Structure 1
Amino acid sequence: MLYESILFGSTFVMTSLILMTGCSSKKKAAPSVAPSPQSASKSPAATPSVAKSTVSKSPATETKATETGETKDTTNAETKNEETKGNVRFVWISEMLIFFQDEETNDKTEAKKDETRQETVRKDDDKKDDGEKKKEEDEKENDKKEENKNENKKKKEDFIRADPTELSFESATTSQKKLRLKNLTSKKLMFKVKSTTTNTYLINPVFGKIEPNNFADVMITHRPSGKREDKLVIVSSEMLGKELEMAKTFKQIKTTGNDVIVKLVST
């Protein structure tokens, strides 16, 4: 709206200046001076013979002619000056219009750049918000899994107790020690013994059963190895299926008793 107002005003001023220049030129262009009656008359001393005499001009006529020529020259010079000033004004107005057009173009370009920057910032903020939301959702999911895991642990009972909870062996020799497992319930249990290494320790039996409130012994054989630490994990559940199929049964069910950990040390 501002640009349109400036353009309209500049056009109006330019048109007015051109019209004023034209009118001024017309007003200052004086008509040719008509010769005076005296210039048309001949000198009294002139002879009637045209062939032998020459017509002489009076001093007044020559003076008026000179003044007329000077007036014409002055008028032409003033007219040229006015035309030059009008051209200068026209060029100045044109330059002003170009200047305002460039300013408006620059403003539009800057506005577009600002919109682009704002859009980029908005997208970055949206990405950050999405990343934070996803992170929060992942944390909630992990917390939920942890809670479920803890609840499952709480639901499980201590079916078996191991004695001792740590076994030590000499690293350079072969030796064997006994691990006793006690059934803490009034139900018949089955158990499975898992080791973190099968090359150093041999377990017999890997699968077994324990009568209610009774014991079961497991033999742990150590073979020569370097100094290291390992562990046994004993999982248990109520007796299901046939005794000979305990390995298959453990693959199909979830254990109901808490895991028992026994530390193995080779020194």
Structure 2
Amino acid sequence: MPTERIHFSDLPADVQDAVTARTGPILHAATVSSGFNSALAARLATEQGELYIKGLPVGHPRVWTQEREAAVSPYVEGISPRARWRVEAGGWDLVAFDALSGRQADYSPSSEDLPLVAATLERLSALRAPDGVELKRAEHRLRNYAPASALGHFAGDALLHTDPNPGNILVGRGQAWLVDWAWATRGAPWLDAGYWVVWLIAEGGHPPASAEQWATRIPAFRAVRPAAVDAFAAANENVWAEIAEHDPDPWTHRVHTAAKTWAAHRVRD
């Protein structure tokens, strides 16, 4: 379920002081409405420029995502906004990033954003998961959604984002930027292109064959065996069936339908 969002001005005074100790005076603070995982998400205008800050109470069950994002940031420079600092104060855990001037990606079939997203996913597929960052493994994350015999398809040493929904892709400065590394994972380098297929169907209205054509722009996806893609599509259907059962809203229903559509497309006679 989405985390309830608060405004920067609603933070305790000592938390705001911890921020201004790093930024100087805050000229303007604007709450960002998109995203599900953060209790605080805001753009801060300062005399040194703009920052994007996100945070959770230290007792929140997903506060570990704050550490994950800060830890991954040095390894994804150039495809993701840089994390400037992380601070814990007044019962809050905050991470500040360079703010981008951009917009959410458009996944529709005629969108000029699609080649930019494909280029970013291709760059990402070449990144090795850093040894110094604690990451879950893709085969472990999918262990309850695919047969044991299929899990080896998902294993690898690539750094994965695993959630390329259009809200996590910002288009600006002539490229697509990945944001929100809460679910960063170690696994096979083609998996993010596979996750993209589901979102192209769900949010862009692509038929499965069209979505796969875009995914094949990423060489790692183009090279993977069809049986691996079949297993991944089936696993995603199972993942989204569980999510839709627990959170039966229109958004999860739409993504679940997309995952089912892709899995059915992958079935061979």
- Please report the TM-score for the alignment, with normalisation by the length of structure 1: 0.17
Higher percent of residues as helix? 1
How does the TM-score come out when normalised to structure 2? Answer: 0.17
